[in-house]
Each structure stands twice: as C-alpha cells, then as structure tokens.
Structure 1
Amino acid sequence: MPPDTAPVRVGAFLLSAQFPGQSHGEALERTVRASVEAERAGLDSVWLAEHHFVPYGVCPNAATLAALLLGRTRRIGIGTAVSVLSTSHPVALGEQAALLHLTSGGRFTLGVGRGGPWIDLDVFGSGVDAFEKGFPERLDLLLRWLRGSRVGADGPQFNFPEVPVVPQATESLRRPDLGSWLGLDDPSGPVRFPRQRQDTEGLGEELTTAGRPVAGPPVVVACTSPGGVKLAAERGLPMLLGMHSGDDDKLRMLELYRTAWLAAGRGEEQLRRVTRQHVAAGVAQVDDRTAAARATLLNAMPGWFEYGLGAHRTVDGRERKMRDPHQYTELLCDLHAVGTPKQCADRLLATAERTGIRRFALLAEGSGDREATLHNIARLGSEVLPQLG
C-alpha cells in the first residue's frame, strides 16, 4: 500500500473540566471561549465530552453544547466525544444529531460510547444492563434512525411501532455561501489561519459494505476494549481511541479492527479510507521549553484527576481502581504532544506515520486556566499546524 499523504488534522478536546477552586460556570465559559479560539487558530475540529454528577467534566450533554458552539462558529467541525448511549435514548439522540447536521451544513460529528458503570444508570433509569449488554442494540437503533425514513423497534430494550423520521438526516445539505464559508460575516474576529485542508476522499464518511458513502452525520465509536473495536468494524464506523493509548496500544486496536473489518466482507481500499477517519485523543501543551510544558500539566492535572475522577460512584457499589493521578499525568506527557512546537509536531507526525491515524483530538485545557488554554490553542494553530504539512 503506498504511503498515505492525507493531511494530519488537529482538533481540540474539551472536557469542561472543573479544576479545584473553579465554578461550573467558569469551566463551561472556558470551553466556549476555547472553541471560538480553536476556529480562529485554524484547528480542524472541537470535540466535547459529557459527564454527570462529577467535576471531572461539568457538561452533562455534549450535543446540547455542540448546538451552542455550532451557532458561535462558522467553519470548524464540532463533535461529541462522546455522547453516552447507555443513558440516552437512541431516537432522541438521533433527532438531535440530525438537527445539528442539517442546520450546520454538515459540521457536526456524533461520537458515541458505552460510558461507565456509574450511578448515572440508576438516575436515568436505564440500569446496569444498558451498560453491560445493551450497547449494540442502542447503536443499531441510532444508526437506523440516522440512515432511514421510517423506523420501528422490536428488541429487549426498545419496542415501538414504526414512525416517520423527522427531520431526516439523509436529506441533501444546504451549503453556506462563499462569504459565510470564508468567515466574512463572522463577528468573532479575524481568522488567523484557514481551516485545515479537507481530505476530500472519504472524510467523515461511513461506508457501506459495498464501499459507498452513507448520508447523514458522521458517527464515530469510542473503543476501549476488543468488543468495542469489533462492534465498530462490523458497523463500518471509525474509532475514537482514548488518551491512555500509546502508539503500541493503537496498533493493537487497529489490527483487531482490521481483522473484524475484513471478516465483515469489506476490502482493503475501504479500510484505508476508514483508517483516515479514526480519531486519537491526546494531550497538547505547547511551550518554549519542554520542562515548562510538562510542569504546567504536572502542576494542574493531578489535582483535577483526584478531585474529578475520585467523585465517580458506581451503580452497584462495585469496586473501582483509580490510576495514581501524578503518574497518569506523567504518562500523558510522555505519550503526547507536550513540549516545544517542533516536539509537538514531531510527536503527532510520528504517530500518524506509524499508525496511519491522521485525526487528533487534543486536550488543550490541561493548565486549568482560561487564558493559558486560549494561548495554548493559539500556539497550536500558529506554531504547530504549519509544521504538519
């Protein structure tokens, strides 16, 4: 297979993290400001997380926040990373995704995942079975809603008569006019760099077994286990890989994906196209000196991890183990784009060359400070992106 010359695309991953001493409103305002800055800086996308009842992230509905940000921006892609299907009704989420897809001119990407065995399952009434066994049924119902015109359900979790899909995500998109696309009507200020060049060969396209693009919003699946990888490959969906994954872990997941992909009757050319659509989450902190970049994260992130992740409650009192916050932060610094602009670019290019993954969602708010986050995103755009080719 010839070397992949598709561009490396960088997005900002925003958890709306509530660092110790901050209010919920401060965390959310930082996310909104950072998203607008990401567009100005020329980043390709913004990815939003959702959590319930914990300060690790104070956005409870990523699709709702995506709607706000799609209205505040003009060019950048906005995605969820992820919308949790274990506590969401697939039809309700499908309606939201279709609405955002059609009204944004196709700038919305729906990332979905199982979530965790948290108390959320009790609060929202879906129960632990939705997490442990129900994800395939929920994903399939969501996909049928996004790709169909009439949908019914006859499964153990969802059972309802056929109803019309309104609005239909498969309708042709209305593209913005040239002035809007260039940002000439954008009141948020000048764009420092244009949005990164689009890979017109299959970007964001879910493929059928015959290799044809599927209409509607792109869907990606968070994969943290072999079962999740197999499910994504069987449905023809790209993966979202977590921050904890180094290149060796990514390669193992990609090989599992390839095996399941080919077993589903799809070909190598289709696999090459979908590999471009996988998204790797990571961390980015840009500074003039590597030691300063690492120090910024090591001073802020361990306290946030301990404060935020430590607040999780399991649904049934099951035991849970938490990583050592300082060691985990050091691991993230070792794995990802943390250092000088050249080091950040080299790290991203090395992962792209070794794995074939060319889309990144980089946690840019690791300092916990609003102005430092905005400055970090600006440097990603002005000093790192130009080195990615």
Structure 2
Amino acid sequence: MTQLSVLDLIPVRTRQSSGDAIAASLALVRTAERLGFTRYWVAEHHNMPAVASTSPATLIAHFAAQTSRIRLGSGGVMLPNHAPLSIAEQFALLEAMHPGRIDLGLGRAPGSDPVTAYMLRGQRNPTDPDPAANFPTDVETVAALIGADRAADEVPFGADAQPGVALNVRARSYELKSTPFLTSAPSLWLLGSSTYSASLAAKLGLPFVFANHFGQSGIDEALAVYRGSFEPSAALAEPRTFLTLNVSVAPTAEEAREVALPQLITMARLRTGGALAAQLTVEEAVATPLTAVEQDAVLEQERRWLIGTADDVASRIRSAAERYGVDEVMLSPIGGGRDADALTASPARERTLELVAAEFPELAA
C-alpha cells in the first residue's frame, strides 16, 4: 500500500491576493482530506511574489481548524530562520489544539534570499556567524522541548516528566518548557536534499524526507547514507522515509502539460536568474515567449516532473515508491489557474488530486 500526502507552497497567481491564494489552498486541503490523503504540509518561503507560505504555523492552525482528520504539518520550517524555543512553542500549541494531527518538518536552507534571511534572523550584522551552523543542536533542542524524542507509549506525559531542557545561566538553573503541560507530541521529521540532512536524521533517529520536488540529484546516495547509518531512537526504531514529487494530472497529457506550464516557467526563471512575479495564468503562460535558456530549463524540469494522464502518473508514483523503498510519497500538485477560474479556487490542483486518488483505491480504505 502506497501512502500519499500533499505538499503545498500556497502559489499566488496573477490578480490573486494572498487571501485568495490561502482560500484556494484551504479548498485543496479539504479535497485532500475527503480523498483520504495522509497528511498535508505547507512550505516556508519568504519574499517571493508567487508564494504565500511565509508562516507554516499560521497556515497549519487555519487549515487544522477547518478539517477534522488529515495530519497538518510543515514541509518545512527553516529552523535557522528562527529561535528553537519559538518553533517549539508554536508547534506545542498546535498539538495541544489538534492532538495527534501535527507534524513538524525541519529544514536547514534559508528559504529566501540572503537579505530576507538576515532580516528574519534578527542579526545585528550581516557578518554574524551563520545560524545554520547550529542546526544539529537546534534540532535536538526542539525535539526535547516538544517531547518528540520520546517513545509513543510515553505519551501522554506524566506531570513529573514533562518535556523540556535544563539551562544554567549565570549560576542559576532554569527548566525551559514549550508549554505548561503536554499530553502528546508533534511528529518530528528532518527534510533535506543532501547527504548532510540524511546523515543528521540517521544520527538522531528521526524520519527523513528527501525534497525531490527541488529537482536535484543525489536521492539514491542520500537514502543509502540515511539507512546505512541509522541509529534507533526512543521515538523511531527503524528508518522511515518519504519523498516529494511535482505532479500535474489531467484527462489528456497535453492538458496536463498546459496547466503545468505556469509553474514550469516560474521555476525556470528562478533557476536562470529571470524576473520573478506572480505565477502566470495558463493562458498567459501559453502566450509567453521564452528565452533559449528558459526553454531549456522548462524542458529539463518537465522530464523530472510527473506530468500526464492519471494512469501514467499513478504508475510512475508507484515505480518511484518501489525503486526508492520509501514509506510514503508526498505530491506537490502544480497545475496553474486559468483566466476564468475563481480567484479563491485552484481547479487544476484539485483535479490532480482527484484523478490520482481514483488510481489509488486504498486511500479511501
């Protein structure tokens, strides 16, 4: 049985406001829940005109309050942008409000340009040490603060065994907690697209997500490093993995490619240093002339992404799950909007999930 989940960057297209884009994603998460997808994660990106997912915790709270079963999480929180205690507090409260439904995926990349990253971190000087250097320690701190380093049968936590960390500051001892009393813990995941994150996840005994939607190579090596050096932890006895895939599905391969074109162009421009703007509509994308460099980037991504009819894409999803031996596949539906679509809806993305789900009857089980 292949478990399927959803990754959402909250895309913002021409004429959409941030509120419109979030409303469209709310409709998408409700569709994912209705169809039986396991979890729905939102990414963290900043200062990008075509992406509204700047605050995963805020979006998760909104989506969790208007759904009932599907797990909600971050794919991921870029931890070097934040104080570990701040993230632990946010996700401890989310877990308190929605027990058993919250995932915390952590990543090391900035998810933004250098200036935005500098502002997010509150550094006083651009030459201050890179916070990413503290990533391993910060991950362990977050895990301890939210109780994610404990075995499942230790939840709920006893009153005398609440998760936290002990600190000694100026000869005084402090017990630091993310919230007064936890009764369950968010599930903690480590995200990455390199052997660095794979190795760290293995060392800490955490589940590992390979960010395959970035289109980078190295998945075989990263998964081999993770599985080969995995150290069991109280929370996880054996390696656990999943990967992400960009998908666009429609009744015909031609239409699937057409609705994928806005995101293909956005990513091509991002990779080639082109001007970034709100995501084009399908009609705008079809009418947009591309440079030779942009066209090459579009074609390269098109080869990596899963674009086509439902049976073709479903077959490729199953093949990827089998080839890499992952426990789950997370789909990023990348279909763009048409000029006539409601601004608060994303029909192509919803249709992708519906067509894929029809090929996986186990989702409804």
**TM-score past 0.5 threshold:** yes
Matched, 1:23 2:36: no
Distance 1:255 1:307, change over 3 A: closer
Contact 2:3/2:327 (CA < 8 Å) preserved in 1?
yes
Q: Deviations over 1:170-206 (max 9, x none)?
A: x25xxxxxxxxxxxxxxxxxxxxxxxxxxxxxxxxxx
Distance 1:308 1:67, change over 3 A: farther
Structure 2 unmatched ranges of 5 or more: 148-161, 277-292, 339-345
Distance 1:331 1:138, change over 3 A: same
Q: Partner amino acid for 1:230?
A: S
Return the alpha-carbon distance in structure 2 between the equivalents of residues 160 and 335 of structure 1: 53
Return the alpha-carbon distance in structure 2 between the equivalents of residues 61 and 47 of structure 1: 12
Aligned equivalent of 2:354: 378
Return the alpha-carbon distance in structure 2 between the equivalents of residues 153 and 362 of structure 1: 41
Aligned equivalent of 1:150: 164
Return the alpha-carbon distance in structure 1 between the equivalents of residues 226 and 355 of structure 2: 34
Q: Deviations over 1:209-258 (max 9, x none)?
A: xxxxxxx2111111122222111111111112123477973221111112
Q: Once structures 1 and 2 are overlaid, which stretch shifts more, 368-377 or 59-68?
A: 368-377
Matched, 1:120 2:116: yes
Return the alpha-carbon distance in structure 2 between the equivalents of residues 225 and 65 of structure 1: 27
Return the alpha-carbon distance in structure 2 between the equivalents of residues 164 and 363 of structure 1: 35
3-state SS of paired residue (1:57): coil
Matched, 1:166 2:163: no
Return the alpha-carbon distance in structure 2 between the equivalents of residues 354 and 162 of structure 1: 46
Return the alpha-carbon distance in structure 2 between the equivalents of residues 330 and 45 of structure 1: 30
3-state SS of paired residue (1:51): coil
Return the alpha-carbon distance in structure 2 between the equivalents of residues 247 and 28 of structure 1: 28
Aligned equivalent of 2:289: none
Q: Deviations over 1:239-286 (max 9, x none)?
A: 12123477973221111112321xx478xx943xx33xx221111211
Q: Partner amino acid for 1:163?
A: L
Query: Superposition RMSD on alpha carbons, in Å?
Result: 3.0
3-state SS of paired residue (1:134): helix
Contact 2:91/2:186 (CA < 8 Å) preserved in 1?
yes
Distance 1:132 1:90, change over 3 A: closer
Contact 2:250/2:351 (CA < 8 Å) preserved in 1?
no
Aligned equivalent of 2:154: none
Aligned equivalent of 1:303: 265
Return the alpha-carbon distance in structure 2 between the equivalents of residues 251 and 53 of structure 1: 32
Q: Deviations over 1:121-166 (max 9, x none)?
A: 32121466344412112111111101253323469xxx99323442
Shift of 1:379: 2.0
Contact 2:188/2:206 (CA < 8 Å) preserved in 1?
yes
Contact 1:305/1:325 (CA < 8 Å) preserved in 2?
no
Q: Partner amino acid for 2:175?
A: E
Distance 1:308 1:32, change over 3 A: farther
1:226-241 alignment, distance < 5 Å:
226-241=195-210
Q: Once structures 1 and 2 are overlaid, which stretch shifts more, 330-339 or 96-105?
A: 330-339
Shift of 1:105: 2.5
Return the alpha-carbon distance in structure 1 between the equivalents of residues 82 and 310 of structure 2: 40
Contact 2:336/2:348 (CA < 8 Å) preserved in 1?
yes
Return the alpha-carbon distance in structure 1 between the equivalents of residues 6 and 349 of structure 2: 10
Aligned equivalent of 1:285: 248
1:147-296 alignment, distance < 5 Å:
147=147, 149-153=163-167, 161-169=174-182, 171-172=183-184, 216-244=185-213, 249-261=218-230, 264=231, 270-271=237-238, 274-275=239-240, 278-296=241-259
Contact 2:194/2:218 (CA < 8 Å) preserved in 1?
no
Contact 1:83/1:113 (CA < 8 Å) preserved in 2?
yes
Which of 95, 100, 104 is 2:94 aligned to?
100
3-state SS of paired residue (2:114): coil
What TM-score, normalized to structure 2?
A: 0.77
Contact 1:94/1:145 (CA < 8 Å) preserved in 2?
yes
Contact 1:50/1:57 (CA < 8 Å) preserved in 2?
no
Shift of 1:33: 1.4
Distance 1:165 1:51, change over 3 A: closer
Aligned equivalent of 1:346: 315
Taking only the aligned residue pairs, the percentage that are identical comes to 24
Distance 1:328 1:220, change over 3 A: farther
3-state SS of paired residue (2:6): strand
Structure 1 unmatched ranges of 5 or more: 1-6, 173-215, 313-323
